[in-house]
A = this chain, B = another copy of it.
């Protein structure tokens, strides 16, 4: 019998009806002979509600007491899911982080899983009981409650799947991983399989299907994942298998086109080309928790100086400018907003050096200017105008044959 850890996020357990529907999907899988363990997030909105309460006392993520309060969200939803499974005719029982235990280290609000003991889950499974584990939470070695940060329930699920030697089914609001966003390109196709690396790049480039940390964990531990819809009827969601690269039979040049709107570009002009300038710049941004994405350094017209350009999320722009003005005295700082990033992701890019050129050509045909270009081993990203995102996604999707079955 295949062992499966099925993870349901906040939206999938957001209401009584959604919990009941999710329980039906688990019941269906159990009837098909899969040995199920369930992991749940807090009901949609609950985590933000609790963060709001803690925030009223000046506390946020990173505080032990905020973690205690936050963990209550998954406590409620795990109990409700156990009740819903029982209503569906199955034996089920909730398990909280401390009841396994899931042992964490790292700071409150952003802990990582250091280990877990699944003996009580194994015992439950042997007794024909479906364990429903409260995701997102664990305890320290000294018994303090900790949470795993955003996307923590995906990480709980991947770690449980590794410990139980199970497949990790992530139920979400989409029917798998698509070649691009179907709202932008109606011809987007669901992928039957995708490699962990491609999934990681798609997630990093804006596809919101899976959390990066859980895919990294799954890749490192060789856990097969499946992305499924929790909104379709049982059996109607085919899903996408996220597997090791070797396990993918058919080779594709490109697997998907991702995009992220509301990017900003910052340029530092006329600084000396001493290498410590870039270091100082990125250190100050890291300290302010500004994520820096595409980076380009170019020689400036004035000899001995350089222009350093990089993109960040627009929401971080004010914070970034403030720290840079402090840290980079004597350097002119300019910013451009209203930008977006489009990315082409595919394991096949490793073998094809000309993809960057063809990307320029495709966007050029559409009169879309590429402001910054960055490549990784299996990804090419271009910074363009926000307004051009949809045309760019559709043109790239067609140019790389993603609309062809």
Which residues of A come within 8 Å of B, CB atoms?
16, 19-20, 50, 53-54, 56-59, 63-66, 68-69, 71-73, 75-76, 78-80, 82-84, 86-87, 93-94, 96, 98-99, 143, 145
Contacts and interface: CB of A to CB of B under 8 A. Distances in A.
A325 to B, nearest CB: 33
A69 B79 contact: yes
A87 B71 contact: no
Given A75-B71, A145-B96, A65 B83 contact: yes
A69 B65 contact: no
Given A16-B56, A57-B84, A58-B87, 15 more contacts: A16-B57, A57-B80, A57-B86, A57-B87, A59-B83, A63-B83, A65-B93, A68-B75, A68-B79, A68-B82, A69-B75, A69-B76, A72-B72, A72-B73, A72-B75
B82 A65 contact: yes
A111 to B, nearest CB: 16
Contact of A94 (B57, B68, B76, B86): B68
A84 B63 CA distance: 13
Contact of A93 (B20, B54, B59, B64): B64
A26 to B, nearest CB: 14
23 contacts: A16-B53, A16-B56, A53-B76, A54-B79, A57-B84, A57-B87, A59-B86, A64-B93, A65-B80, A65-B82, A65-B93, A65-B94, A66-B83, A68-B78, A68-B96, A69-B75, A72-B72, A72-B73, A72-B75, A75-B75, A96-B145, A98-B98, A99-B143
Nearest to A58: B87
Nearest to A134: B68
A145 B79 CA distance: 11
Contacts of A75: 68-69, 71-72, 75
Contacts of A96: 68, 145
B83 A54 contact: yes
A145 to B, nearest CB: 7
B53 A65 contact: no
A187 to B, nearest CB: 41
A53 B13 CA distance: 12
A59 to B, nearest CB: 5
A50 B65 contact: no
Q: Which 9 A-B pairs have the closest CB atoms?
A: A72-B72, A57-B83, A69-B79, A68-B79, A65-B79, A72-B75, A16-B56, A69-B76, A65-B82
Contacts of A98: 98
A49 to B, nearest CB: 9
Contacts of A63: 83
A98 B100 CA distance: 13
Contacts of A72: 72-73, 75-76
Contacts of A82: 65, 68
Q: Most chain-B Cβ atoms within 10 A of its Cβ — which of A58, A68, A73?
A: A68
